[in-house]
Amino acid sequence: MAPIRLRHPTGVATIQVPFDDSQYTVQDLQQEIYAASQILPSRQQLKTGYPPKSLALVPELPVSSLGIKGGDQLIVGEGAEPASRVNPKPVTSPNVERRPLTSAPIASSAAPAQRSVRTAPPPSASSDGPVHVPIDGSVLIHRVVPDDNSCLFTSTKAQKMRQIVADGIRKDPETYNEAILGMPPSKYIETITKPSTWGGAIELTILAAHYRTEICSIDVETGRIDQFTAGPDSGVGGMRCIVIYSGIHYDAATLAPTLDAPSDWHQTQFPIVSTDTSDSILVAGKKLADTLRSQKAFTNTSTFDLKCEDCGQGLKGEKGARAHAEQTGHVRFGEY
């Protein structure tokens, strides 16, 4: 354990950080900062050094990804619903922007490999169809994807897309090293190719680059938009798709001429009109997330209640599940 000094809007504090614990993530640090400052992780803006430089916060990565050490001081600020663009090749410099999908752990494959978490039922549709938002004479529709641990990859092409991720890691060992992955690359590849393993920011980064399509993830709980770019040439003129993230599940957002249009009429890729979040399709996507939030269609994985399916012990959040798995070897958890 080593001390880190926090300077936040209402005072100063010192927290102890286990830098030698590879399982201690940026998300864990953010929760400690939240306890000291009452600034939600999704709104935290951290700076360090002189002159102060912003840190890129990827909750599921180990705290070592921040490049800080014991005795450092963090300046904690509060932002409002930040959005980010993520380069598909996060270099090894600790301060490069590698933003997460969400402030909560992203069902990360750095967490226990085998998990069976029962999610809440999908949001109820309105009387006139699924949750949707009108846009330019069409409708952006929330398309529920099966809750089968492959929601990020989609159930029909899951194994192929998992293999694309595995190949991307093999081809770029300098970028996807043990420090970034949170485990040896060979172990990560073994884990992510299993149907029971969830994917997250690393996977979206690789898939966006492979398909040359920007992937925008919209977090239901916070409304935050994270843009995983398609490469150095991405931008206006390129294409993007949208996924809706509930905290433990990904669904799709598709554009259709009417609510009852057949599935093959649904548009899943959209031209990039603006690289920021003012693009009309992203504005509509955020409104879609707002509607889902009003229906409580999200789960905060830091605070939700879990039960070990092997021994029945009650647990609190992703961190509690991880600790329990390390102590017992149990890896099946259910939400209740």
Q: For residue 330, indicate whether it is catalytic.
A: yes
- Does the active-site annotation cover 142? no
Tokens (6 digits) for 308 = 């070990």
Q: Does the active-site annotation cover 249?
A: yes
151 in catalytic set: yes
C-beta separation of 228 from 97 below 8 A: no
Q: Of the listed 147, 249, 308, 324, which one is catalytic?
A: 249
* 7 DSSP β-pair partners: 12, 75
Residues annotated as catalytic are 148, 151, 249, 330
